Amino acid sequence: MFYEIRTYRLKNGSIPGYLKVVGEEGIAIQKKHLGQLIGYFFSEIGPINEIVHIWAFESLDDREARRTRLAADPEWQAFLPKIRDLIEVAENKIMKPAPFFDEGKS
């Protein structure tokens, strides 16, 4: 299993608007293509104005295929402008679980 951890630093004060539009439209489109959402978070303490979402994929090829389908979806293409200008910095990590971590039984 591979985990994609996406971190966005948003413009000051834009978290409520971002969460509203993602909750009403974006997350359903993403789930349709990306599959297993592990978590979707926003910061309250520490670095402010951050969104972190984590997705699980069977392999890097699985991730690539799913992200390609998402990018090609006309609904997603129409949705992106609603959040694009709210994001100042985006960071993406691919993580693998440690061999002693029993996924699903933490």
State pLDDT tens for residues 47-70: 889 999 999 999 999 999 999 999
- Among residues 47, 54, 40, the alpha carbon closest in space to that of 12 is found at 47
Given a contact cutoff of 8 angstroms between Cβ atoms, the answer to whether 49 and 12 are in contact is: yes
Residue 101 lies in a domain: no
**pTM score, two decimals?**
0.87
DSSP state of 43: -
pLDDT > 70? residue 89: yes
Residue 83 lies in domain: 2-95
Residue 105 lies in a domain: no
Residue 82 lies in a domain: yes
Residue 102 lies in a domain: no
Structural domains counted in the chain:
1
Among the residue ranges 34-48, 51-65, 67-81, the one predicted with the least confidence is: 34-48
Query: 53: which residues sit within 8 A by CB, 6+ positions away?
Result: 5, 6, 37, 39, 40, 41
The per-residue pLDDT for range 14-34, each reduced to its tens digit, is: 999 999 999 999 999 999 999
Given a contact cutoff of 8 angstroms between Cβ atoms, the answer to whether 49 and 67 are in contact is: no
Residue 98 CA neighbour count, 13 Å, CB half: 3
The residue ranking higher by pLDDT, 64 or 103, is 64
Question: CA torsion 24→26→32→36, rounded to 10°?
Answer: -100
104: confidence class by pLDDT, cuts 50, 70, 90: low
Residue 11 lies in a domain: yes
Residue 64 lies in a domain: yes
105: confidence class by pLDDT, cuts 50, 70, 90: low
